[in-house]
Structure 1
């Protein structure tokens, strides 16, 4: 059995408060839905002090008296799944050890539904069911139409919801959670995210991809209107 753990799990370091703002969209006694802004890491990607969602979450719960880093050494509040640095939107997090276990179980059983909004190049004029196959190679994802050893199912449904010039705003219902799945899949069908030069988009403004809706355990949480 091989375990791949992020650096902040392996490190035994002193808790350093992070007073940057954290937007809480929804919560109960054990779980939270947080909003991650574009440009912020979900979790640390290097040793030492770093601004990320986890450090902001731990600071908030420490200030509320829910989590004590000195006594709760076996549990550190964390987001239950990640969004890429340049993807914004909703993230589920465990406030307590019981909440973290519940979130992990929902994800493992496929009971956390995710929807995204993305702006893609060209005209998408009808809903589509994309049943593709993906393989991570270096810092990119490769996509093909047919299965092959080592390639993983990459399934999602898309629906156009609006147009912006020559671009289309689509809603994506993600059925599997693969590396760069939305970006690579849309590029594969000829509609890369607008501005996503890594996957063939035209240079210009940064690409727009936002996790807009999470459904779990009878709850459906959406980003509130600003």
Structure 2
């Protein structure tokens, strides 16, 4: 249990406390914030309040949320596509459809379940639910992840991510024809105020920058490479939707009429970083999944 605090800023004047808490805590929904308030985990200026409390500049919000009870994660004999492994790091290519780490609705079949079977040691910085997990990609996004096998490696890799020194390139098939060959999307991302299960470009969100390059154009679609400068939740999916070119097959941010891809056409193709022990720059590349390659071939035939 760790106490956190936030001083209300001028642009947050009049916001309900539950709404502001959900905004401050990226992983929390408004209903969760209301539950925290009902359980007296939240105080404003040293006093307990109700969910409809209106914040004023200078108010000091403190919250002390009990740590979730640890869940027992079982090792499972699930095949892994490992590109590289040594005593510090492991590079794995996650298939589409696999969840990275266990959660209430996914306690088995995850990448972590598979890693626990494969590895005797993983870093413990992120606790028992996310051992070794330095960064994540969505369930239906395929591609490369680096896994830390000890806490020293984890801390150095996390620092590289924070300092924007990790190279992360994605390939994506998006709707529409992008008129220019290169572009940068610099737009803050936060919880969608209209749908707490989604992220969106919102005023006051966390800084998010995505660079993109057009690789190939088709009738009604464009194949792009995206480079992450930051790593916000659903960043590429949200940013491409924001500029009017949502990712094909994306059930959350894309149109209803789209290609039948069983999830977004997004693939983490390149991953580069400085090895935490040797100091050597390492770069890994993973080819597109066969299903996405087949879809691109179909689109080429239609041009």
TM range (shorter): 0.7 to 0.9
Cα distance in structure 2, aligned partners of 1:172 and 1:203: 20
Aligned to 2:292: none
Pick the structure with greater CA Rg: 2
Give 1:7-22 correspondences, 5 Å limit.
10-11=69-70, 13=72, 16-22=74-80
Aligned to 2:14: none
Counterpart among 71, 74, 82 of residue 24 in structure 1: 82
RMSD over equivalenced CA pairs, Å:
2.7
Cα distance in structure 1, aligned partners of 2:157 and 2:133: 9
The structure showing larger relative contact order (alpha-carbon pairs under 8 Å, at least 6 residues apart) is: 1
Give how far 1:128 is off. 0.5
Counterpart among 212, 219, 229 of residue 165 in structure 1: 219
Q: Which 5+ residue runs of structure 1 have no aligned equivalent?
A: none
2:208 aligns to what SS in structure 1?
strand
Counterpart among 111, 124, 131 of residue 53 in structure 1: 111
Cα distance in structure 2, aligned partners of 1:10 and 1:94: 24
Cα distance in structure 2, aligned partners of 1:200 and 1:57: 32
Q: Which 5+ residue runs of structure 2 have no aligned equivalent?
A: 5-24, 28-67, 275-280, 290-303
Deviations 1:80-101 (A, max 9, x none): 1111111111011012232222
Give 1:35-184 correspondences, 5 Å limit.
35-46=93-104, 49-62=107-120, 67=121, 77-124=131-178, 125-137=180-192, 138-143=196-201, 148=203, 150-184=204-238
TM-score (norm 1): 0.82
Deviations 1:132-177 (A, max 9, x none): 1222131112215xxx3x3121211100111343211100011111
Alpha-carbon contact 1:136-1:179 (below 8 Å) kept: no
Q: Moved runs in structure 1, 4+ residues, more than 3 A? A: 1-5, 74-77
TM-score (norm 2): 0.62
Counterpart among 243, 253, 265 of residue 189 in structure 1: 243
